[in-house]
Chains A and B, each alone.
Chain A
Amino acid sequence: MTTPALSIHGLKKNFGPAEIIRGVDLDIAPGERHAIIGPNGAGKSTLFNLISGGYHPTSGSVKLNGQEIGGVKPYAINRMGLSRSFQVSNIFSNMTVRENVRCGVLYSMGYGYSFWRNVGNLKEVQEKTAEILNSVGLLDKASLPAALLPYADQRTLEIAITIAGGADVILLDEPTAGMSHSETERAVALIKRATEGKTLIIVEHDMGVVFGMADRISVLVYGEIIATGKPEEIRGDPRVREAYLGDEADEHAEGGAA
């Protein structure tokens, strides 16, 4: 078997006395599209933060292409080829769309912290930026300030920044949250196209999206993965149904506070 793109073993995370991630094991093969689902408060975002460097694991290991990344700084993980998006749009709102994507491109093109070059004259950066803008369909809005974009376009821009650095492992955190049905369809098509040949890990609430896109699905409940498998296996798993439906009922009662 080839080295998994991402390999998680015995991962735990405590916040004080509260155990949020209680031992996660997961291997994701290169090129796989993997979805993580689970009720609110299951620890999905925490898991993402542990993988991408936002949090330090309490114990356990996270390996990216065989290299340990648990506790490594986010920018270092990013440079190793892992990139993520955020649940709430996390873009550079004072910049134009083009500049936003360019921020995502710069480091990977080797321009890091350079202060002797004019960004306007970096031809390959311009080309790469244009290519990405084109691929996500934001080319005609490139000169708009990002803050003025409609919501769905901001979500698209979020994805564009995420893939801009050319990372081969992509983590998307609820990319279609808050989108209308038609917007969601377009977003799914975009994600499929943009992550062609890459490893994709996605957290999503919209089951249509999950089952339509994922090669495999993991179900995270109370900080543990209770099931991993192909979509049809998960659909039929009674434990999943129980955990999921039971919790969804609670969620309605609580009023859906995130």
Chain B
Amino acid sequence: MKLMKSAALAAAFGFVAMGASAETLKIGFIDPLSGPFGPSGDAAMKHWMYAAEQVNKAGGINGAEVEIIAYDNKVNPKESLIQFQKAIDRGVRIIAQGNGSSVASALIDAVDKHNKRNPGDEVIYLNFAAVDPSFTNDRCSFYHFRFDSHAEMKMNAVTDWIAARPEIKKVYVIGQDYSFGQANAKAADAMIKAKRPDIEIVGNELHPMGKVKDFTPYIQKIMQAEADAVITGNWGADMVLLIKAAIASGHEVPYLTFYGGSLGAATAIGKDGVGQLYQISEVNTNLETTPEQNALIDGYEAAYHDSYYYHRVFNAMTMLDEAAEKAGTNNVVEIAKQLEGATLDTGYGTITMRAEDHQILQPLFMSVFSDNVTRGVEGLPLGWTSGDADRIEADATAMPTSCKMERPE
């Protein structure tokens, strides 16, 4: 926060464009910091700041100190574009954003247009959470790198997990009625039919986003359909209320979520969700890993009194560091060239930034909410755990891409 404020003061009162300086490498973090989505952005910002601290302790990137400058975009695409202009003025040439595909879409567009209209002064965009598949398919861009598995890859992993469990015979899909939920619904249907034609999809429901207060009627429908597992891409209150309603109705089947581990969900759902709430993600803090990784988690949680969640932020920072060192310069186009196809050995396996579409390939884990964990989340004795069978290898998550990348000379 301090970093952000002092810098912001300079910008607001100076009102002048500042060039990029040699001593610092500025990363413009553009995410919600106030309003209803403030918590998500805030948590991500803490991860970025801790990641920057770690890199700086090790001497920075090519000797330059990494500075995270946070911009509050209120999850509003238009506001994000204003903050983007502010960031460029401040000498930021690397932006990071995650929350909200609408914002990501606007930023990809804006970055592309900026780079086209200002050759020699390019900006690259590290996307750590916006999962619309199109960003690394038909809308792919040389300047955009995604460090999270996109929605279809996650759905692919979820359906792989289901396919490996013969006891699951009937699946229900429920999601929010907007582009993301609609895409999920289609993908789930197609993938399950392809992998396990014997599984019956007993329901594929879309409900309006953020409007349903009582999910019990939906749960009754799911129960009457006698589903053995439920897949949902819901996030925020829609996810929490759905799970709570399922618990209250005693519907004890796996609820396979994309965002069950998001901030605040564990607290809101509580111990009743144990054994029933699943999430697909690139990490859970109870996985077996290296001592370094454990030290990182401990260090982060001690420094920020917050749960370690955005593992991919550390992946992004480390890959950025390595790419820049390899390029021998902090010029972002050179960094981007080195990021293409880069690999990194993490505490959970090797990850690759696929060159053809700038999509990360990383192992995914289907974790279950449990009360028998060494590391809890949100200060609770509850956390996420998974067995060996719940690991989906990085290669298995790969999906074909329709990307036709245009690269600069």
Asked if the two chains touch in their complex, CB atoms less than 8 Å apart, one says: no
Which residues of B are interface residues toward A (Cβ below 8 A)?
A: none
Residues of A at the B interface (CB closer than 8 Å) are none
